Amino acid sequence: MPLRIVLVRHGLSSFNLEHRIQGRNDLSTLTPEGTTQARLTGEALAGVAVAAAYSSPLSRARDTALTLLQAQGQGLEPLLDDDLLEIDLEPWSGLLRRELANHDPEGERRWRECPETLELRRADGTPFRPLPELMEQADRFVLRLLEGHGSSLAPASPTQGTETVLVVAHNAILRCLLLRLLGLPATGFRRLRLDNASVSVLNLVQPAGAPLEVQIESLNGTSHLGTPLPPRGKGARMLLVRHGETDWNRQGRFQGQIDIPLNANGRAQAEAARTFLSELPLQRAYTSAMARPRQTAEAILAAHPGVPLVTTNGLLEIGHGLWEGRLESEIAEGWPQLLADWKRTPHTVQMPEGENIQQVWDRSLATWQTIASSLEPDETALVVAHDAVNKTILCALLGLLPKDIWAVKQGNGGVTAIDYPHGADGVAVVACMNLTSHLGGVLDRTAAGAL
């Protein structure tokens, strides 16, 4: 993808530490720990060439950007942009979170349950809706960003690299930027999580005459701060992992339901995932019945003896039918239009003698929901499956549709965490997605393969 956007939330601030509501005021400052987090983030991004850096002008974000860029060592200065300011919560700013329920119980409930409906009043009595206003602010920033870097949105050529821009801002505005880029409404706000100094990566491209294509490469990575995954809150957690690499991934062959085992690199990826997750508690584990996810799950569970592994056909990879075992070039010869449709409108494609995305969506989501419903609030389950299966699950959890499966990336051995703070029937939170730092660096460099 020619244009890469790296989103970083500011480091731990004084109000974060005190559990105060920050909003748009500039009373909160970066703590010593927050400064360390910013430095570590810069060091983690040292190998990524950044063309431009943008920051909120609020001190906690600006100081994060300055420290990060100094540690990154490329001599950049952040461009301060008012459209990266945090959400305006003027009447609440400075309140302890525990005080808010007494100060404004109905507002506090709306902020937790349906923040897009929250209405507040400014000091002069003017009513306003913070989240819809912030979505409009995100629109403005995204449009200007794309205008400024529009020449990078054409599909990559063999001589063209990827242009990277860095955006350092705040929790709520970064979530709105993600929603805006994915074409999602403000109702998806609570489905996302962004921790202090976390790194999220998006890839953008716009083929000639076609709509902008946006892909989340990773979300809320914190391993550079010394914590493999964001800390879990209340409720059950599910860890979704894609299997390690196979020879067919490396060659770019469509695997589907042909049972190809891991190659040597795939086994190394599975072992790296085992080390990455070794200190985290696991009570249950599930996998597709195929060899490549089963081998990956078994490698991870070597660090968790006694955890039973359950196999299920509901997590099988998409059936590609007559495409299975073929290279993309071979498919292009036999089914040129169908392959083009698969790349642009995957939800319209019925694989020859195989499945369609809706069928995979239905069985994957049913299996995922059955597992989620079976978990106790203090349990964590490992689920190891395939590219298309994982993408359908994540699209559903984010509020996307079957047509959007290319909007999320799943690298071989990548780790995703989903939390259920309100139970299996409540809104799930994507705590992090497609983390591959255990495989070498902030960016996902696993084999692209074929879906």
Mean pLDDT of the chain: 95
pLDDT, average across residues 110-121: 96
pLDDT of residue 450: 66
Using 50, 70 and 90 to split pLDDT, how confident is the model at 208? confident
pTM value is 0.96
pLDDT of residue 209: 78
Residue 451 has pLDDT above 90, yes or no: no
Residue 233 has pLDDT above 90, yes or no: no
Residue 32 has pLDDT above 60, yes or no: yes
Residue 13 has pLDDT above 90, yes or no: yes
pLDDT of residue 153: 80
Task: Give domain limits for the chain.
Answer: 3-225, 236-439
Residue 10 has pLDDT above 80, yes or no: yes
pLDDT of residue 255: 95
pLDDT of residue 157: 56
| 236-439 shares the fold of 3-225 | yes
Question: Residues, the chain, total?
Answer: 451
pLDDT, average across residues 234-247: 97
pLDDT of residue 443: 93
Residue 213 has pLDDT above 80, yes or no: yes
pLDDT of residue 160: 66
Residue 156 has pLDDT above 70, yes or no: no
- Percent pLDDT > 90 in the chain is 93
Task: Give the tens place of pLDDT for each residue, 313-329.
Answer: 999 999 999 999 999 99
Instruction: Calculate the dihedral angle through the C-alpha atoms of 196, 199, 203, 204, rounding to the nearest 10 degrees.
Output: 30
Task: Give the tens place of pLDDT for each residue, 409-424.
Answer: 999 999 999 999 999 9
pLDDT, average across residues 164-180: 98
Question: What span, in angstroms and rounded, lies between the C-alpha atoms of 391 and 400?
Answer: 10
The tokens for 164 are 């990277």
Using 50, 70 and 90 to split pLDDT, how confident is the model at 356? very high
Residue 155 has pLDDT above 70, yes or no: no
CATH number for the segment(s) 236-439: 3.40.50.1240
Instruction: Indicate the class that CATH gives domain 3-225.
Output: alpha beta
Residue 1 has pLDDT above 80, yes or no: no
Task: Give the tens place of pLDDT for each residue, 294-306.
Answer: 999 999 999 999 9
Task: Give the tens place of pLDDT for each residue, 122-148.
Answer: 989 999 999 999 999 999 999 999 999
Residue 152 has pLDDT above 90, yes or no: no
- Percent pLDDT > 70 in the chain is 98
